[in-house]
Structure 1
Amino acid sequence: MKKVLVLGGTSFFGKRLVQLLIDEGKEVTIATRGRTQDSFGETIKRLTIDREDKSSLIQAFKGRQWDVVYDQSCFSPVEMRYSCDALKDKVKRYVFTSTMAVYEFGIQRKEDEFNPNTYTYIYKNRGDYKGYEGYQEAKRAAEAHLFTQTDFDSVAVRFPIVVGKDDYTNRLKNHVMKVKNNQDIGIESLQNRYSFILSKEAAKFLYHMGESTFIGPINAGAKNDISMDQLITKIEEILKKEARVTTAITSENVSPYALGGSWSIHTGLVNSLGMDFSDCERMLEELISYYVQQEV
């Protein structure tokens, strides 16, 4: 892998991926809408695209070749179809950032529990997918198009909840601050379990997938998962303060991790390939402590 195209790459762990590629001496091009400034200076090339306008991709990619494309910004099968059509014969390997949302709610979901090769879908635009169920359908359909309608050496990396000191969503921080400020946290079930991954480890794994020969869907995340009860308890212990958890959920108090069930992945496949990730509980303890210290 020498020449790399990144669709997206200007926020969160996408930025980490681009920086890692630069540090490893790759020739990097990012393709975005051009609305978000980046800090990469002259170390990268930039293309402006509209993922819902096929002609803009064809024009941007005209006369260019890459070894690998990392797709960080696909949120519909239409976007996947357009990018794949525009990149036909221009790239060998396609690494798609997918999500564990492709699975039904549950604990320790394995890769074969969602098969994109047999998934029936229709092509819709990003704006047609609403809420969590829409997000799930969009990512499933995007995977299905990639694996069934293209000839790339393709990988779909199914990430769990991504956290880190650079997490702009502040979802974990939200829990810490609510406990600190004696505010209600609306949680329907404290027994729901979740998987996480550090942003720097997500970027590192994506990089590794670009260099790898692995093909297919793969889960990547921290060792083990954790229940909401365990997470809240850790925040209480670090803050030395009792959380005010309520099942009377409102739009103001609802937990950012409020989903319809457990959201947890099995990482046996990725571990068998020699990839290792941080321990979930220790990772979250360090981040909780970081947020607490930030607000002192």
Structure 2
Amino acid sequence: MQRICVVGGSRYFGKLLVGRLQAAGHQVTVINRGSVRPPAGVEHLVVDRDDEDALVTALGARTFDTVVDQVCYTPVQASIAARVFGGRTRRYVMTSTIEVYDPATAALPAVPVGTPVPEETVDPSAWVAATDLPWHDAAYLETHYAEGKRQAEAVLTAAGFAFASVRSAHVLGGGAQEFTGRLAHYVERIAAGREIAVHADTLPTVFVHYEELADLLLWAATATDFTGPVNACSDGLLDVRDLGAVIAAQAGRQPLYRTVAPGETASPFSFDHHYAMSNARAKRLGFSFSHTNDWLPGAVAEALSVSAVSTI
């Protein structure tokens, strides 16, 4: 049994992670602002993680084997976490994102098109963090999401505990639980015969099922002592047209695509720049991934079911 603290953990794969940690026999503490209660038997600390003094007070004398941070988006939040949890935990795992590799948001080393991006493409130990930027502004944060994650990783890499970041691919599955609405966007449009805006040359990306991501976070928190970033994605690259084909096969409708002009916004998962990730490091460390084709049809079926219910 380990003492595990989950910061966030109120929805989607974070909620699933909490349940799986508890089922595995770990002593779990969840920190959030109280909008959603964790399962019975899980300790719940209701506090705003951005309020450093309140967080220190809520934690009291508690210590943990591992902290899993599901909701760290900025170097300011990371700096608070480093100060508050320094000396309270031996290990800190942060949920990060594939978007740290997005070449549209940072000057990054070039990776040949078709070559999955390895973790060293974005080295958090070499990244500069700037806590004086307007990270508190919601509009700024939305447009600087990838940079916020990169800088948060940089801060926590230099903190006084063993730090690992899990860079998640695009997460799908779970039907109504998939709160981003990105898969629903395609399902609803294809089922209704509506156009989908795509780039002229669509490049592939990677995905991960929400249950697989919860499994990987459980593994990262409890079963290994690796540090540094690790990419979390199922095997197999798909572009937006591949995704549309899977949906079309179940919806019984052919996708209608409209090519956007250069600079025009396309649908989510349509990419004109390459940053599909490599999961080779996680495999070397001992984690086994499924193939996207193994679970994507089921995820589409769930989304179609939700869409059908919503139109009744």
- So what's the TM-score if we normalise by structure 1? 0.91
Q: CA deviation at 1:248?
A: 4.3
Pick the aligned partner of 1:194 from 187, 192, 205. Answer: 205
> Equivalents in 2 of 1:133, 1:260: separation in Å?
18
Q: How far 1:206 sits from its partner (Å)? A: 0.6
In 2, Cα distance between equivalents of 1:271 and 1:163: 21
What's the counterpart of residue 50 of structure 1? 48
The structural deviation recorded for 1:5 is: 0.7
Determine the structure 1 residue equivalent to 2:61: 63
Q: Please, which moves more after superposition, 281-290 or 193-202? A: 281-290
Gaps of 5+ in 2: 104-112
Partner of 1:276: 288
1:147 aligns with 2:157: yes
Gaps in structure 1 of 5+ consecutive residues: none
Taking structure 2 as the reference length, the TM-score comes to 0.86
User: CA 1:126–1:200 in 2, change beyond 3 Å: closer, same or farther?
Assistant: farther
1:236 deviates by 2.0
Q: 1:184 Cα deviation (Å)?
A: 1.5
Match of 1:84 among 82, 93, 96: 82
Correspondence for 2:110? none
- Alignment partner, residue 185 of structure 2: 174
- Residues 130 and 151 of structure 2 are in contact (CA less than 8 Å); yes or no, is this contact kept in structure 1? yes
Q: Are the counterparts in 2 of residues 129 and 138 from structure 1 also a CA contact under 8 Å?
A: no
Give the AA of the match of 2:5. Answer: L
Matching residue's letter, 1:208: W
* Pair 1:137-2:167 in alignment: no
2:227 aligned with 1:215:
yes
Q: Hey, what does 1:20 align to over in structure 2? A: 20
Q: Hey, what does 2:121 align to over in structure 1?
A: 113
What residue is the counterpart of 2:108 in the other structure?
none
Distance in 2, matches of 1:143 and 1:100, equals: 13
Task: Spell out, residue by residue over 1:149-175, the C-alpha distance to the aligned partner (whole angstroms, 9 max, x if none).
Answer: x12111000011011113122311220
* Deviating more after overlay: 260-269 vs 154-163: 260-269
* Count of aligned pairs between the two proteins: 290
Cα 1:209–1:15 change in 2 (3 A) is: same
Q: Per-residue displacement from partner, 1:25-75 (whole Å, max 9, x unpaired)?
A: 1111111112x223513x111112223221112212221111110000111
Distance in structure 2 (CA, Å) of the matches to 1:49 and 1:117: 30
Once residues 195 and 144 of structure 2 are traced to their aligned partners in structure 1, the CA distance between those partners, rounded to angstroms, is 28
Stretch deviating more after TM superposition (282-291 or 176-185): 282-291
Structure 1 residues 132, 79: closer, same or farther in 2, change over 3 A?
Answer: closer
Q: What RMSD over aligned residues (CA atoms) do the two structures have, in Å?
A: 2.1
Following TM superposition, by how much is the alpha carbon of 1:254 offset from its aligned partner in structure 2, in angstroms?
Answer: 5.0
